Amino acid sequence: MTTSARTRIGTLAGGLAAVGLLSGCGLGTAAGYSPSGELAGPVEGIDLEGVSIDVGSKDFTEQIILGEMAVILMQSAGADVQNLTNIPGSNAVREAMLQGALDFQWEYTGTAWLTYLGHEEPIIDEWEQYEAVRDQDREHGMVWLEPSTVDNTYAMAVTQETAEQGITSLSDIAELDEAEQTFCVEAEFAARNDGFEPMIEHYDLPVPEGDAQRTMDSGAIYQATADGACTMGLVFATDGRIPALDLVVLEDDEDFFPRYNLSAVFGEEILEENPELEDLIMPLTERLDNDTMAGLNAQVDVDGEEPADVAWEFLLEEGYVTEGQ
């Protein structure tokens, strides 16, 4: 199930235990076979022969797909890749990166800023948020490449029918009759000091009363919104159930939600020794966006395909790899 990185934070002890498993005991993760081919298009000719690299990811759909894409590209460039995708918990992956048990992961700017680096307030401008994370995390030996437009943040979604009535942004909610201003939210978001009530206040909406605010498990919200149990449902912006259920994400036109832009992150040593890794990863980073990511996630979460197969087919169709000889 695709879940925001924010809800996957484990304990520090768990992170350290994971590092021990990865580097001390030599145990891998649940990652399986990843295909490889020949590099093509914007990455053709990049040669990583003789390079050894450990690639990790968190244990939710989006992260596993992205991790598999990196593995496929690096293997296709000739690198010896240890596939350590599907590690439980954000902190476990973070500790593995800090300890050098991993050389590469995909991460979200908001997760790093608010969780790893310990800041209480997000930076609204996504580029300024990225630069702040990049500069501060370099002190920990992490190199953040320029971010994608993928922003796996909280969002509100509505049905196509509601969107066709002109409700396409959060500020448009005020145009609905108050009786139609109904929300399905998860318990954590309802209780957060940067969650539901602050969002309502930020957009100057009336505070929902009674059944106008329904609290439910995050996984149930998507179907409940599609079924009309509420007009607006809390979602994660790149969840595959959004396109599968024909939902529409409302624009956060007054910049309430923190930014969780996706970036490729390397340990500084591996990138200093092999700068061509940036040339390999950045064309993919620049290609990804929320709609693309949601569609890929849906292939796994809705259609039941394997993440490695989804990653391979995307790279093949987009011209980053060929089948090879």
pLDDT value of position 25? 34
CATH of the domain at 201: 3.40.190.120
191 falls within a domain: yes
235-272 b/e with 16+ CB inside 10 Å = b? bbbbbbbbebbebbbbebeeebbbbbbbbbbbbeebbe
272 falls within a domain: yes
Counted residue by residue, the chain has a size of 325
56 falls within a domain: yes
| One domain, residues 234 and 211 | yes
Q: How far apart are CA 80 and CA 105, in angstroms?
A: 16
Q: How far apart are CA 258 and CA 236, in angstroms?
A: 12
DSSP letter at 59? S
Question: Where does a domain end: 226, 249, 272?
Answer: 249
| One domain, residues 38 and 142 | yes
Domain count, the chain: 2
> 132 vs 93, 94, 143, 263, 278, CA distance in Å?
21, 18, 12, 13, 20
DSSP letter at 161? H
pLDDT value of position 24? 43
The one-digit pLDDT tens for each residue of the chain (325 residues) are 333 333 333 333 344 444 454 544 333 455 567 889 999 999 999 999 999 999 999 999 999 999 999 999 999 999 999 999 999 989 999 999 999 999 999 999 999 999 999 998 899 999 999 999 999 999 999 999 999 999 999 999 999 999 999 999 999 999 999 999 999 999 888 887 778 999 999 999 999 999 999 999 988 999 999 999 999 999 999 999 999 999 999 999 999 999 999 999 999 999 999 999 999 999 999 999 999 999 999 999 999 999 999 999 999 999 999 997 5
| One domain, residues 48 and 13 | yes
| One domain, residues 193 and 234 | yes
Q: What distance separates the 2 farthest-apart alpha carbons in the chain? A: 64
Domain, as residue range, for 225? 154-249
pLDDT value of position 191? 83
pTM of this structure: 0.85
Task: Say if residues 150 and 260 touch (Cβ distance below 8 Å).
Answer: no
| One domain, residues 47 and 180 | no
